[in-house]
Copies of this chain bind each other. A is one copy, B any other.
Amino acid sequence: MFFKLNTSIGQPFYVQLMQQIRHAAESGALQDGDQLPGIRTLAEELVVSPNTVARAYSELEHEGLLELRQGSGAFLTIKRRARGLTERVQAASRKVEDLIEELHQEGLQDNEIWRLFETALFHRAEIGAE
């Protein structure tokens, strides 16, 4: 299908998978009711343990984004906040990509850009505070 795991960021595979499925749902790449690849199939594709895929699916099920039907597979169930989210996410996605592109052209590297986002999102208004 259309997922890709990155071994060089310290993030667990199952979290990366969850993020990408969430993103696919938010951006409209996956629609309500769409079927996801089988656990074993996807595990083979990504060259990870089936447990890893199972964990991602299972956590997304607890979150209410997936429905696991025994014997049939995993299906997207989008209900929440869905109105208009897709459009906004797609627009936002474009803006984010544009900004990253722009920063690249100014000579910044991925890890530096990453650091800026991190700082802005998670340490906002805290650096320099004291």
**Residues of A participating in the B interface, judged by any CB pair closer than 8 Å:** 1-4, 6, 9-10, 12, 15-16, 19-20, 22-24, 26, 29, 59, 62, 70, 88-89, 91-93, 95-97, 99-100, 102-103, 106-108, 110, 112-124, 126-130
Contact = CB atoms under 8 A, between A and B. Distances in A.
A59 B65 CA distance: 17
Nearest to A22: B115
Q: Is the interface of A mostly helix, strand, loop or mixed?
A: helix
B2 A127 contact: yes
A91 B103 CA distance: 10
B6 A122 contact: yes
Given A4-B126, A16-B123, A23-B115, 16 more contacts: A4-B123, A4-B129, A19-B118, A22-B115, A23-B116, A26-B112, A29-B128, A88-B108, A91-B106, A92-B113, A92-B116, A96-B99, A97-B124, A100-B121, A114-B121, A117-B117
